Amino acid sequence: MPKKKAKELRDLNDARLEGRLDEAREALFNLKFQHAGGSLERTSEMAERRREVARILTVIKERAEEEADG
């Protein structure tokens, strides 16, 4: 899955954003297993996935705050 910037994520609808979050979390989970097994060549990929999850969660939180404010 390609890395998404926050602006691109903001253009997605809520359902697609949740889907991206699930995909990113699953990818991070798999990378952690590869790292533990010693088969992960690019360890920087784990950090990229963590940042992607954080970006998505930030957009979700922003939307929740906008709804709460009215």
- The pLDDT of residue 70 is 74
- The pLDDT of residue 62 is 94
CATH number, domain of 19, equals 1.10.287.310
Would you state the structure tokens that stand for residue 25, as one six-digit string?
């979390």
* Tens place of pLDDT per residue across the chain (70 aa): 555 588 899 999 999 999 999 999 999 999 999 999 999 999 999 999 999 999 999 999 999 999 998 7
Distance from CA of residue 63 to its chain's centroid?
16
Domains identified in the chain, total number: 1
- Residues contacting residue 51 through CB under 8 Å, at least 6 positions apart: none
- Asked whether residue 57 is assigned to any structural domain, the reply reads yes
Rounded distance between C-alpha atoms, residue 43 and residue 70, angstroms: 42
Q: Which domain holds residue 46?
A: 6-69
Rounded distance between C-alpha atoms, residue 65 and residue 23, angstroms: 24
Quote the pTM value.
Answer: 0.86
- Asked whether residue 28 is assigned to any structural domain, the reply reads yes
